[in-house]
Amino acid sequence: MSQAERLRSLKRLGRRRHRDQERRFLVEGPQAVRELAGWCPDSVVEVMLAEHRNEAARSVGEAARAAGVPVTEVSDRALGGLTETENPQGILAVSRYLPELDLGGLEPVAGTGIVVVLHDVRDPGNAGTILRTADAVAAQGVVFAGHSVDPYNGKVIRSSAGSLFHVPFTRAPQTPSALEALDASGFRVLGTRLDAPLVLGEHDCGLDAPTAWVFGSEAHGLPDGLPLRESVRLPIYGAAESLNLAAAAAVCLYASATAQRGISD
């Protein structure tokens, strides 16, 4: 295969259908490539360096080469043709799909029994930011359920700031079956709704128990009919109608993290 054909093949990994066919995805930038290579070294297929790269990209490329990862130098134009950002940072990695979280075999871990379920969350920025927060609270996993954005979407990876490679995750086309599996494993399934009877911080929401938090899309929230144990809402003390999805998720996840660790004011 010529280099031009190979670059065209890699470019197609920007589409979910081709990623799923090849079971490979692209990772841009020094930080993301460093996290990928450090946490998931067996998944890295190749690292590509631009002819003119910054010091961070050069350093990550050298570390990859020293670890036995194939490193290829390409022109700035060739690398730029594969990236989604306006200002490419001179380095890109090709990776195999990561091992997925097994919901059926998941057991709550004391102190960090938190799972995040994203139902029909299509905004990659929100999804990546929630993934980053899940990493920060040491969640056991993240489930991209229903018609949620692909976790291998480039903006999800960038918004997660490397957390995609730290937190186990899976894709679950059928949200109800994923929630039923988590319930059977011992997680209390909590949904977030604007009209929920329980108010976080004002009622005992049982957050000291292992919890699977279910978040819906910012536009539509959670539909009726999902197998939830309880629904919870965040109090709004000012004039704002609601919080941004990623901000609301952060409040909920940190409430669980502090409750499970026995931390109080």
Domain 103-260 CATH superfamily: SPOUT methyltransferase, trefoil knot domain (3.40.1280.10)
Residue 98 and residue 40 in contact, taking contact as beta carbons nearer than 8 Å: yes
pLDDT digits (tens, 9 = 90+) for 108-152: 998 889 999 999 999 999 999 999 999 999 999 999 999 999 999
**According to the model, what pLDDT value does residue 194 have?**
87
- pLDDT tens-digit readout, 201-221: 888 889 999 999 999 998 889
For 211, phi and psi rounded to 5 degrees?
-130, 135
Domain ranges of the chain: 3-96, 103-260
Q: What is the pLDDT of residue 264?
A: 56
The answer to whether 3-96 and 103-260 have equal CATH topology is: no
Token couple for 228: 């939830």
Architecture of domain 3-96: 2-Layer Sandwich (3.30)
Are the C-beta atoms of 227 and 214 separated by less than 8 Å?
no
Predicted confidence at residue 158, as pLDDT, reads 96
Distances in Å between the Cα of 243 and the Cα atoms of 194, 234, 246, 248 are: 10, 9, 8, 6
The set of long-range contacts for 78-85, using a CB threshold of 8 Å and a minimum separation of 24, is 78/3, 78/7, 78/50, 79/48, 79/49, 79/50, 80/50, 81/7, 81/11, 82/7, 82/10, 82/11, 82/26, 82/48, 83/26, 83/28, 84/14, 84/28, 84/154, 84/155, 85/28, 85/29, 85/158
Please give the model's pTM, rounded to 2 decimal places: 0.94
Low-confidence ranges of the chain (pLDDT < 70): 1, 264-265
Parallel, antiparallel or unpaired: strands 91-96 and 71-74: unpaired
